[in-house]
Copies of this chain bind each other. A is one copy, B any other.
Amino acid sequence: MTSQETTAFTFSREKLESVLKRRFFFAPAFEIYGGVSGLYDYGPPGCAFQANIVDVWRKHFILEEDMLEVDCTMLTPLEVLKTSGHVDKFSDWMCRDLKTGEIFRADHLIEEVLEARLKGDQEARGQVVSEGKSDDKKRKKKVKEIKAIKLDDDVKEEYEQILAKIDGYSGEEMGELIVKHNIGNPATGDPLEPPIEFNLMFETAIGPSGNLKGFLRPETAQGQFLNFSKLYDFNNEKMPFASASIGKSFRNEISPRAGLLRVREFLMAEIEHFVDPEDKSHSKFDLVKDIKLNFLSKSTQIEGKTECAIKSIGEAVSEKMVDNETLGYFIARIYQFLITIGVDPSRLRFRQHMDNEMAHYAQDCWDAELLTSYGWIECVGCADRSAYDLSVHAARTNEKLCVREKLPEPITVDRLEIDIEKKKFGPKFRKNAGAVEKWLLARTECELETLQKDLSTDGKILVEIPGIEEKIELDDSLIHIERRTRTEHIREYTPNVIEPSFGIGRIIYSIFEHAFYPRPDDADRCVLKLPPIVAPTKVLLVPLQTNAEFKPIVKEISQVLRKEKIPFKVDDSGASIGKRYARNDELGTPFGITIDFDTIADGTVTLRERDSTTQVRGSVADIVKAIKTITYDGLSWETGTKDLKPFESKSEE
């Protein structure tokens, strides 16, 4: 069934959510205690679906590219996240209601109030109010009542401009907007405190003294950066290479709604590909260069447009829309991965970050966005982070996080060098001697130049060294800085990092939407057309009736399936075949094996395909072989079953 056919119906988020909850794909965590917003548990089918996606991810990225997988801790001390910038910058702005203490996320608040006013204006002008998709009504809106009040034309225009730029305001600017436009609690109109910054990391104390402040990691990347030297060493000092990590991360969202799309604890899969800054070509780029993708570039967005350009990744890189081959390679590989696990290609686009969205150090960044009933959702980020992360951690710790590469030809370089009178360091600096030396040797050319200048002016310099309380005084007798010409055989550089970063939960939810459709002949019978490779269960094994004669056959086929490691379920309940299949259509089970009276006679069984409900018949061995090749080797239903006999399907009721 093509995507056109299955999307040619009014999608109902309410119906999908009811199926997902009824079949326990997921549920609010601690539900019997009233639940905690932003926390969800995955039940058996959700858990298996997630595990299968992770398994495909591992094979597609880690095994295929020989990446080095690591498993780092979630608990992270403050100092590390201070260096990475998360302590200072990983935050949202929130406003508190002075009376009730209720808390709002500032940007969401402004958005919601202004949207409500614009709707009120439309009503007042007698225009048809666009309600969006019918399900939008189901979203908990804080604005309870839209008042039909006409706005001045210039006010209306101003509101529209604010909404278009809502992601770009600073806290102060939002504070000004709130005052200027008299924005209060959306439900009551009561005044709010000015926006204050709220760090989104969960804080805790490590150890019994309470003095070592730590956080739950907001992403898995830092552990990979900190282990760079060990990984480089493990890789026999070959470049480029990538590390990868799959694990939970945490964000203390201010007011999480939108189900699985905005949660406080989530599974991430992240790759850090370390590459020579002077050579970002990729040896396997040719294999993907012809893949065509939907691109929404920076320049298109600046023009205020949202139409995607369709072109090959090869073209995108050669015309420098995508910065380099390695970034382009990963964008194409992300596409392949998403399509494999069930994303509808027509609802996938790659959107480039605007300059004000990116950190100052980022070279280029593209998000894989998936279209859902909540709009376009960022599900995978793919950024060239330059040498930022390794540089800041190296600077903070005075540990070298760099690559040493033998040059093909020696080169002559001219540079400042520092000589250290080691013998005098011990007596003078005692326990700090090592730290002072390490710090001095870690200075850049530019820093050495300043030190040299100060030293020649004053005869001595005073420096602050992280980890040492008092300032350190250095004079000519201790250090000497001089420009020298050297022949070098080694080139030393800090690698750049290309970082593809996957939010597994968001991908999972988007696939649910892309895969969900009602049977054309019965809107109440819904199907999740998950690809066999990621479907939680591959086969439903159903005896026609609760007949004792079927029992040994069920057991026998179960053993075959278990031996072949095909996840399956038996349903030998008394429900009708149709009911049993309908239940498993909702679970996304792609195949059904039916045991009937002919099975007793000749050992053949029927195999049903979920989406088309067509059936074929054959021996158990042939049927199992078809299931295996379709599920694990990616054959189509038609090819996988071409040697099996079509079976006249009786009504499923």
Are A103 and B265 also in contact (CB < 8 A) when A30-B80, A33-B80, A42-B71 are? Answer: no
CA distance A75 to B201 in the complex (A): 13
The smallest beta-carbon distance between A37 and chain B, in angstroms, is 8
- B94 and A70 contacting across the interface, CB-CB below 8 Å: no
CA A569 to CA B234, docked complex, whole Å: 12
Among the stretches A11-19, A44-52, A115-123, the one at the interface with B is A44-52
> Cα distance A551–B204 when bound, in Å?
52
> Judging by beta carbons under 8 Å apart, are A227 and B41 in contact?
yes
A140 to chain B, nearest CB (A): 16
Among candidates B393, B562, B569, residue contacting A32 with C-beta atoms closer than 8 Å? B393
Partner of A43, one of B230, B247, B250, B393: B230
CB of A546 within 8 Å of the partner chain: no
Whether B80 and A250, one on each chain, are in contact in the complex, defined by CB atoms closer than 8 angstroms, is no
Any B CB within 8 A of the CB of A124? no
Q: Are B397 and A226 in contact (CB under 8 A)?
A: no
- Bound CA–CA A422/B202 (angstroms): 44
Q: How far is the CB of A405 from chain B (nearest CB, A)?
A: 16
Against B, the Cβ 8 Å flags (1 = close, 0 = not) of A69-85 are: 11111111101100000
A356 at the interface (CB under 8 A from B): no
With an 8 A cutoff between CB atoms, is A207 at the interface?
yes
Instruction: Give, as a whole number of angstroms, the nearest-CB distance from A44 to chain B.
Output: 4
12 additional A-B residue pairs with CB within 8 Å, beyond A29-B223, A202-B206, A205-B252: A24-B234, A29-B72, A29-B226, A40-B73, A41-B73, A42-B70, A44-B231, A64-B562, A74-B248, A75-B265, A103-B207, A204-B204
The interface size of chain A toward B, counting residues with CB under 8 Å, comes to 80
A residues 387-415 in Cβ contact with B at 8 Å: 393, 396-397, 399, 401
Q: From the candidates B50, B230, B264, B399, name the one contacting A71 in the complex (CB within 8 A).
A: B50
Q: Is the CB of A236 within 8 A of B573?
A: yes
Number of copies: 2
- Give complex CA distance A47, B70 in Å: 6
Chain B residues with Cβ below 8 Å from A571 are 236
- Nearest Cβ on chain B to A30's Cβ, whole angstroms: 6
Complex contacts, A24 vs chain B, CB 8 Å = 230-231, 233-234
Residues on B with beta carbons closer than 8 Å to the beta carbon of A227: 27, 41, 43
Residues of chain B within 8 A (CB-CB) of A43 are: 68, 70, 227, 230-231, 234
Provide the bound-state CA to CA distance between A214 and B202, in Å: 10
User: A206 — which chain B residues lie within 8 A by C-beta?
Assistant: 36, 39, 202, 252, 264
Contact A73-B208, Cβ < 8 Å, known A33-B79, A397-B33: no
Asked if A204 contacts B216 (CB within 8 A), the reply is yes
Among A31, A47, A397, max chain B CB count under 10 A is at: A47
